[in-house]
Each structure stands twice: as structure tokens, then as C-alpha cells.
Amino acid sequence: MAAIVQAIGLTKQVLSGDLPIVILHDVSFAVDAGESLAIVGASGSGKSTLLGLLAGLDVPSSGKVLLNGADLFALDEDGRARLRGELAGFVFQSFQLLPALNALENVMLPLELVGAKDARSRAEESLLQVGLSARAHHLPKHLSGGEQQRVALARAFVTRPKILFADEPTGNLDAATGAQVIALMLELNRAQGTTLILVTHDEALARRCNRQLHLAAGRVM
């Protein structure tokens, strides 16, 4: 199976005053299509920075990321955004739903942005998959944290992304709700063959992924 995501010698350095601080140091690995990978490590080990680089949301000091064979940082910002739009979905710890849109409208949004004619029917199907059809017309403020994260999952999967990036997807949820979201995410990963790359402190979630990448002080252990 071909690697859909490849990190090659990724290094990220920032300046603190005049002092350079290395957040990531020469990180290399590959993820096969359909695989699930948990990026784990202590706070400050560089996990979220790595995820941001893999998704092209941030630019490395040196190194490469290949997404589906395309060299991400050979592209300009618009090119990276276009590639992300074609390949990737995102789930964040803070849900990132638009407060003025109801659940259905939030899920429809990524489809509408690319001019999909069947946005409503696909969004309704996606909400059905996460068990939230009955809450389709509720605003985020009227949904529980677990329901909001399920809407975020429906929105991430509605475009049928090849890769899903998730940053602490259960971080704001209690254990029982987190377990439901984990099960749902892995089920959608299996059903759609989506490659899942997630950052987590949640050991139960990390164990359920195909493999784990351990970071310590910016290096792969």
C-alpha cells in the first residue's frame, strides 16, 4: 500500500527573544492509506505542531511533507489550501462550529464552498451517520459538547476526505462521551477508508489506532 502522508526530515524552530527554540527535530515517518495513527507524547513535545505541519497549516523550518505524493511546501499558500480542500478533513478539540449556523448548515458548509449541488442531502446523510438527525436544526449553543463534536465529525467526513486530521478530538469531552466519539471516528475511518492521523492524550483512543508515534522533546522515540 502506498504512503498517503510522508514526513521527511521535518524541523520547526522558532525564536524566543534572540534564542532559537527547536520544537520539532528531524521528524520522518510515513502513513499508509486507510491507516490510523495516534501521535502521543507529553505536553510540549511538539504533537500539535507536527499535526499543523502535516496539514500544511504551518510551514517547517526545513523538511518536506508529501500528501498523496504532492510536495506540500513546494506549493504557495493558495495551492496548499486547495490540496487540503481536495484531500483533508479536520476535527479540533474546540469543535470550531459556526455559532450562527444550525447543525445541518454547519455540515453543509464545506460542500457549499466547493459548489456541490447535493450539499443538503449529503449533509443530512452525514448527520444520520452520527445519530443526530433529530438535532439538525439546533444551533451549536443548544447542543451538548458530545453532540457538537459529533456535528464536527459529520462535517469533517461529509466531503469523504482521504485524510482526517484530528487534534485532541476527545479533549473537551467526559470519558463516556469521548468513548462514543472515538467509536464513531474509527467506524467512519473504516467505512470510508479514510486515513486517520490524530493527536491525543487519551490512551484508550491511542490504543485503538493501528499504531502510535511517540514524540519526546520534538523527536520521534
Burial of residue 8 (number of CB atoms within 10 Å: 0-12, 13-18, 19+): middle
Residue 201 pLDDT > 80, yes or no?
Answer: yes
Number of C-beta neighbours around residue 183 at 10 A: 12
DSSP strands (E only) in the chain: 3-16, 19-32, 36-40, 62-67, 70-71, 88-92, 163-167, 195-199, 211-216, 219-220
pTM of the model: 0.87
Give 13-32 pLDDT, tens digit per residue. Answer: 988 888 989 999 999 999 99
Delimit the domains of the chain by residue range. Answer: 3-220
Residue 197 pLDDT > 90, yes or no?
Answer: yes
118 band by pLDDT with thresholds 50, 70 and 90: very high
Residue 134 pLDDT > 80, yes or no?
Answer: yes
Residue 215 pLDDT > 90, yes or no?
Answer: yes
List phi, psi (to 5°) of 67: -110, 115
Closest by Cα among 164, 205, 212 to 45: 212
CATH for 3-220 is 3.40.50.300
Residue 192 pLDDT > 90, yes or no?
Answer: no
Dihedral (C-alpha) 93, 98, 104, 109: value to the nearest 10 degrees?
A: -100
What confidence score (pLDDT) does residue 1 get? 60
- The predicted model gives 181-191 an average pLDDT of 83
135 band by pLDDT with thresholds 50, 70 and 90: very high
Sign of dihedral through CA atoms 75, 80, 86, 90? positive
Give how far Cα 125 sits from Cα of 3, 42, 132, 151, Å.
Answer: 30, 38, 10, 12
Distance (Å, whole) CA 107 – CA 21: 39
Question: Percent of the chain scored above 70 by pLDDT?
Answer: 100
Return all residues near 132 (Cβ < 8 A) that are at least 6 apart: 103, 147, 150, 151, 154
Distance (Å, whole) CA 130 – CA 172: 18
Q: Do 156 and 189 touch, CB atoms closer than 8 A?
A: no
44 band by pLDDT with thresholds 50, 70 and 90: confident
Sign of dihedral through CA atoms 209, 48, 6, 33? positive
Give 51-95 pLDDT, tens digit per residue. Answer: 999 999 899 999 999 999 999 999 999 999 888 888 998 888 778
Give 147-177 pLDDT, tens digit per residue. Answer: 998 899 889 888 888 999 999 888 877 888 7
At residue 41, the 3 state secondary structure works out as coil
Number of C-beta neighbours around residue 17 at 10 A: 6
What confidence score (pLDDT) does residue 114 get? 82
What confidence score (pLDDT) does residue 7 get? 96
